[in-house]
């Protein structure tokens, strides 16, 4: 009986922590795996449009033409495996950040996209995204290495964000980090 009570108490405590943490709606992509940077922002716009705000209006246009209109500041993008494969241009993570995404959850990220996103201060979280639907309320706790799906009462383990990447996020990306510290400072 005591074990059952402790388990219930832990679940309730986890939900209270998730409710205290800021939650944001999930925006789930229809195409889950291998979403390349040309799907994030079509190649036909990458060279014609220089304004990041205008680029952000066209995110995922080839997958879902109405997707960008549903995004609000703070939303969390949910994808599958190998998100951001393709070209190494920074327009893709930049368009996502300017569109209003506070983070991207995926099972895995393409290496160059991963680095480009942290360079501009866009948080990427690797976790099992199978338990997230469009519109679920999500809370991310980097320190606990947990992503809480508050809507479903689930707490999912995430891959720890490296200390250096956390620092870049705190500072707003590489350029802001350099401005703040006059170079790389990670002590």
CATH number, residue 117: 3.20.19.10
Domain for residue 91, yes or no? yes
pLDDT in tens, 165-177: 999 999 999 999 9
Query: What is the rounded average pLDDT for all residues in the chain?
Result: 88
pLDDT in tens, 82-118: 999 988 778 999 999 999 999 999 999 999 999 999 9
Domain for residue 140, yes or no? yes
Domain for residue 101, yes or no? yes
Domain residue limits at 137 = 2-159
Contact 131, 156 (CB under 8 A): yes
CA distance 8 to 55: 47
Whole-model pTM: value is 0.85
Total number of domains constituting the chain: 1
Q: β-strands 146-149, 154-157: how paired?
A: antiparallel
Contact 79, 127 (CB under 8 A): no
Domain for residue 32, yes or no? yes
Q: What element of type H or E holds 102?
A: none
Domain for residue 24, yes or no? yes
Mean pLDDT of 22-28: 93
Domain for residue 125, yes or no? yes
How would DSSP label each residue in 11-42? HHHHHHHHHHS--EEEEE-SS-S--BHHHHS-
């Amino acid at each position: 009986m005591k074990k059952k009570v402790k388990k219930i108490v832990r679940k309730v405590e986890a939900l209270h922590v998730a409710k205290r943490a800021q939650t944001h709606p999930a925006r789930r992509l229809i195409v889950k795996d291998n979403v390349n940077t040309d799907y994030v922002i079509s190649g036909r716009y990458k060279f014609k449009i220089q304004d990041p705000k205008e680029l952000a209006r066209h995110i995922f246009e080839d997958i879902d033409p109405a997707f960008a209109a549903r995004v609000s500041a703070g939303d969390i993008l949910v994808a599958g495996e190998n998100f951001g494969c393709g070209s190494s241009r920074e327009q893709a993570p930049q368009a996502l950040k300017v569109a209003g995404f506070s983070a991207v959850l995926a099972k895995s990220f393409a290496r160059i996209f991963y680095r480009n996103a942290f360079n501009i201060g866009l948080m990427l979280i690797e976790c099992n995204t199978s338990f997230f639907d469009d519109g679920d309320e999500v809370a991310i706790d980097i320190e606990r290495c947990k992503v809480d799906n508050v809507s479903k009462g689930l707490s999912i383990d995430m891959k720890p964000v490296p200390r250096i990447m956390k620092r870049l996020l705190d500072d707003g990306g590489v350029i802001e980090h350099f401005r703040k510290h006059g170079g790389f400072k990670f002590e």
